Every structure is written in structure tokens, then in C-alpha cells.
Amino acid sequence: MMLKSLPLLFSFAVMLFAATPGQAQDADAGEKVYKKCKACHQVGPDAKHRTGPILNGVVDRAAASAEGYKYKKSIVAAAEQGLVWDEAQLMQYLSNPTQYLRAYLDNPKAKSAMTFKLKNEQEQRDVIAFLAAQSGDAVAKEDTAETTAKAEPQLSADEVVAAQVFTEEFLADPVNFEAGKEMWFAQCTHCHGYKAYPGKAPKLKPGKYTPEFVFKRVYKGFKKMPEWHETFSVDEIRQIVAYVKAPGFSP
């Protein structure tokens, strides 16, 4: 079934190029844009689910249909309403996934687990052209389906830490700030912050840390600072980082 969909995918890619001659998509340029996605997504024959699902064959496919990946409920609801990732839908989704799902579902509470936004339309087109060419190796993917079903990192802690890239956009996104804030007050103020027992943990000096440093400390822990990678997903830790690094954060 996966194999049969390959020719379809290729013809779709051809259609994309033919349909909008004025605004060429450039798969090579798209490969560069795709670097922004790599922290969370993989493509190719050995791709595994990470924070986000494998993106092989995603173009022109039903939303939320990568096998073995646990999607959040809003995107699943959109899929149930028939959402298919054609170029137009993907462009809008990439611009702002949460806003897109809210509009699609006509539900102001809908939320995307994808916190990243790609605003530039040419970059959107290019990355979609790149993705349209990523069919993956369907056979190898099926072979590994069982081992990857449980998704979470086979990466070492250091590899996960090294894979983190924090864009200005990500750090400035109010969705991340709010989510991070909630987790901060749920878990971190036991030891940090003005309400904590004095001396339990040092007062944080966020201005002195890079986002990558904060991620590393939270993910891996350090001395009496606990490690959080089993409590929070990578995505959630990234949101905590966005909160700690935000101007509105008060240690």
C-alpha cells in the first residue's frame, strides 16, 4: 500500500511544479529550509519519530497519519474531518499551526503540539517541494515500524541536547511562554523562586544563560538539580526554556 502511493507522490510533485509557474518551488532551497525542522522531524529511509512525526510522504497525505506517532487531539480531530496536506493547507499550517487548527476546527481552544512557525511563503513552498520528494523507503520503514512504535529518543542525552536549536520566533512565541510558565509553577518553584525554601536552589540569572544551556540543565540535571527528561517531553522542556528566557520571567 505504501509502495503503491509512490507514483502518486511523484506525480503530485510534478503537478506542484506545473501548477504555479510564476512561483517556482525549489527542492534544493527547501532542503536548507528543512534544517529548521530537523530538531523535531526526520525524513529518509531510517527516519524515526522524534518530538514530531516522520515527514516522509506527508505531502498530499491525510493529516495525522504517520504510523506509530502519538498526535495531539486537535490535529486528530482535523484529520477526522478529512484534512489532507496539500500545498495550500500545508502553507497555512506552517505559518502558525495552532492558529490554523483553530480556524480549521472552528474551535478557539484547539492547539497544535507543533510550536514552530515558518512565516516566509517562499520558504514554505520550498520546504514543501523538498518534502514532496521525500518518499522514504517504505519497506525499510515497515520493517522498523515495531521498534519505532514507541517513538521516544533512542538518542543519547547529549545528542538530544546537541540537537536543540532555539529560534527567536520560538522564544518569542506566547504559546511557548504560557505553556512553559505553567510547567515552571507546577514543578520548578518547589526549589527555585521567591516562594521556595531559601537555599534550596540558586536564584536563576536567565540573562546569563543561553537557551541551549537552560535546556541542557533541565533535560540532564546537574548535581542537586533533578533531570526532567522523563517528566517532560523535549518539546515541553523547550517551552520551559522559552519561559525562563522570556523578558516576563521573574526568578
Interface residues toward ligand HEC, by CB under 6 A: 36-37, 39-41, 51-53, 55, 58, 63-66, 71-72, 75, 85, 90, 94, 112-116, 118, 127, 187-188, 190-192, 200-202, 204, 214, 217-218, 222-226, 228, 235, 240, 244
- Which CB, 179 or 240, lies closer to ligand HEC? 240
Contacts of 135 (CB under 8 A, 6+ apart): 6, 9, 10, 56, 57
How many other C-beta atoms can be found within 10 angstroms of the C-beta atom of residue 247? 9
- Which CB, 125 or 192, lies closer to ligand HEC? 192
Reduce the secondary structure of 103-152 to three states and give it as a string. HHHCCCCCCCCCCCCCCCHHHHHHHHHHHHCCCCCHHHHHHHHHHHCCCC
Torsion sign (Cα): 5, 7, 11, 16: positive
* Rg value, the chain, Cα: 20
- Which CB, 21 or 190, lies closer to ligand HEC? 190
Instruction: Tell me the closest approach of the beta carbon of residue 180 to ligand HEC, in angstroms.
Output: 8
Strands annotated E in the chain: none
| C-alpha span between 42 and 85 (Å, rounded) | 17
Instruction: Tell me the closest approach of the beta carbon of residue 85 to ligand HEC, in angstroms.
Output: 6
Contacts of 71 (CB under 8 A, 6+ apart): 53, 64, 79, 113
- Which CB, 21 or 247, lies closer to ligand HEC? 247
Instruction: Tell me the closest approach of the beta carbon of residue 100 to ligand HEC, in angstroms.
Output: 10
Instruction: Tell me the closest approach of the beta carbon of residue 91 to ligand HEC, in angstroms.
Output: 10
- Which CB, 15 or 105, lies closer to ligand HEC? 105
Instruction: Tell me the closest approach of the beta carbon of residue 48 to ligand HEC, in angstroms.
Output: 14
Instruction: Tell me the closest approach of the beta carbon of residue 50 to ligand HEC, in angstroms.
Output: 8
- Which CB, 120 or 147, lies closer to ligand HEC? 120
